[in-house]
Structure 1
Amino acid sequence: MRSAVGTRENIRIIDSAESGGVKIEVMEYQKLLGSTNTSAAMDLYFMEKQNMRARQVAVYINNDMVTVEPGAMSYFQGNLEMVSGVNAGNALGRLFSGAVTGEAMAQPEYRGTGMLVLEPSFNHFLVLQLDREEIIVDKGMFYCAQGGVTVKAVAQRNISSALAGGEGLFQISLSGSGLVVLECPVPSCEIDIIELNNDVLRVDGNFAVLRSASLQFTVERSAKSLLGSAVSGEGLVNVYRGTGSVWLAPTIKVYSTINTARMMGATSTKGLNMNTSNSR
């Protein structure tokens, strides 16, 4: 089947993977050339210089199936059938799970042979291959998975740790074998993969985007005593124990700091303008 990229020179494939009857391509728009607004054009110029480019995922299905995030479909072509993934046997469970977790009740499934192109995004896409394993990712990261991968919401084992650690009560479990696409706030080059072998990892902040399901997750004081935690200035830390992998994205904190500073600066400037206006 012809690639979704076609002959357009403005789009290039930055990542691809193939497993069984599914091939995935991550496309990147080198420039967005359609703006007719000068202010928007200035924003697009600086976004391009900072590698803030629109990216899009194309999935080529050959007698196979994929599950996608609700609302992610842009268009599809060929002999593909879209089903809701909900039937009489699991409708009640899906409805309860959606009410508790805030996730959509149905995750669309596309079966058959054809091409499925998902919505563009300024976020980054990670393409992974699962081999009879299970990983846990943050809510909002799941984008697409091959039919051999089971996607479900899982509750944190320790409710107090979930709330204190900033991970939330529920995350997404991906288990089985096949290709998975995750939507990530940072590119793969800014992710540190930490391998644990019956070891302990302590993380100051909520920037672990993925972990092996075999790991135990808790939130604990950074020091043995409450006083020691207060003196060190670290307070609580996220702790991962066991054998498996943890994917850390430390630069998330950098971008968060920049965004917060910009928002505070805008608020400060707005207040100054209002004061100036009132003084006239």
Structure 2
Amino acid sequence: MRDKSIEFEVIQTIETKDALFEVLQYPKLAGSSDVRAAEQLFYVGAAGMRLKLVRVTLRNGRLRNEPGTLYYMHGSELEMKASTGGGVFKALKRRTMSGESFLVNEIHGSGQIYLEPSYGHFFLLELHNEEMIVDRSLFYAGSGDLDISSKMVSVSAAVAGGEGLFQTQIAGTGVAVLFSHVPAEEIQKITLNNETLSVDGSFAMMRTGGVKFTVRKSSRSWAATSVSGEGLLQTFSGTGTVWIAPTEEIYKQLSTPQGLAQLALPPGAMYDRETGK
């Protein structure tokens, strides 16, 4: 059998002084000996979905990755270490406030690191002495210079906004690897200049640190709110940037048994889940 390496398609690349981050896409998978797997693969391929993964080439650097995200790595100078992630105090705060592990995973040295593949989507975000607040499920990995911690949102925003009591705060200078349920080209970047953005849904992915997140009624009065049909809105105010993924709600709906039928109705039309009409 001829020795042949997989020829990945490079989707996105960011290079720093001590690391090269790449989002890679597999070529079309040929299938395994399992007929059931081949059937699933056929439909996945017909839908245009491709398997993706992240490769990080360290040059005497370090990578912090979420537990369970390491796929494989090779290099004579790579070493996995357990770290407090910025000191004992931060580790205690992380453990006490959000229930996360006291220790975090770090890989130090030089070599190539491959993170777990997914049919979802990855994108790279470079920060220059900045602060970002992202949904807890988004952070996948990041360069060692970044400080990753938890940020508490208001109780009302946590309960009514559906985002949980804690979000992930990424601060400093470096590259963050983020996971997304939608392709990067479907993510919209909205800049606020002492303005307000209201979102009817939970598809706001992240925001810069200066943007305030609350949940408000769609109208000033409860009567007007009930008439509007919009209810409570996730509200982002201040100066900064918000990233939203509007198509995520469409994909969620399509994954339900009656999702396609519901999307075929006029927007705002009443829909009976039991009868499908």
Which TM class, normalised by the smaller chain length?
0.7 to 0.9
**Which SS does the other structure have where 2:178 is aligned?**
strand
- Cα drift, residue 34 of structure 1: 3.5
- Cα drift, residue 22 of structure 1: 0.7
Deviates more, 1:97-106 or 1:201-210: 97-106
Q: Unpaired segments of 5 or more residues in structure 1?
A: 1-5, 266-280
> Contact (CA 8 Å) 1:70, 1:104: kept in 2 or not?
no
What pairs up with 1:1-280 in 2 under 5 angstroms?
8=5, 11-78=8-75, 79-86=77-84, 90=88, 94=91, 97-98=94-95, 100-156=97-153, 158-261=154-257
**Which SS does the other structure have where 2:73 is aligned?**
strand
- Cα drift, residue 185 of structure 1: 0.6
- Structure 1: which 4+ aligned runs deviate by more than 4 Å? 262-265
> Contact (CA 8 Å) 1:69, 1:144: kept in 2 or not?
yes
Alpha carbons of structure 1 residues 66 and 88: separation in structure 2 relative to 1, 3 Å:
closer
TM-score normalised according to structure 2 size: 0.86
TM-score normalised according to structure 1 size: 0.86
Alpha carbons of structure 1 residues 166 and 87: separation in structure 2 relative to 1, 3 Å:
closer
> Contact (CA 8 Å) 1:70, 1:106: kept in 2 or not?
no
Partner AA of 2:28 in structure 1? K
- Cα drift, residue 43 of structure 1: 1.6
- Cα drift, residue 13 of structure 1: 1.6
Alpha carbons of structure 1 residues 87 and 107: separation in structure 2 relative to 1, 3 Å:
closer
Identity of aligned residues (%): 38
**Which SS does the other structure have where 2:104 is aligned?**
coil
Larger helix share, 1 or 2 = 1
> Contact (CA 8 Å) 1:129, 1:177: kept in 2 or not?
yes
Q: Root-mean-square deviation (CA), in Å? A: 2.3
- Cα drift, residue 105 of structure 1: 3.3
Per-residue Cα deviation, 1:22-74 (whole angstroms, up to 9, x for no partner): 10111111222242233321221121222322111110011111111111111
Partner AA of 2:133 in structure 1? I
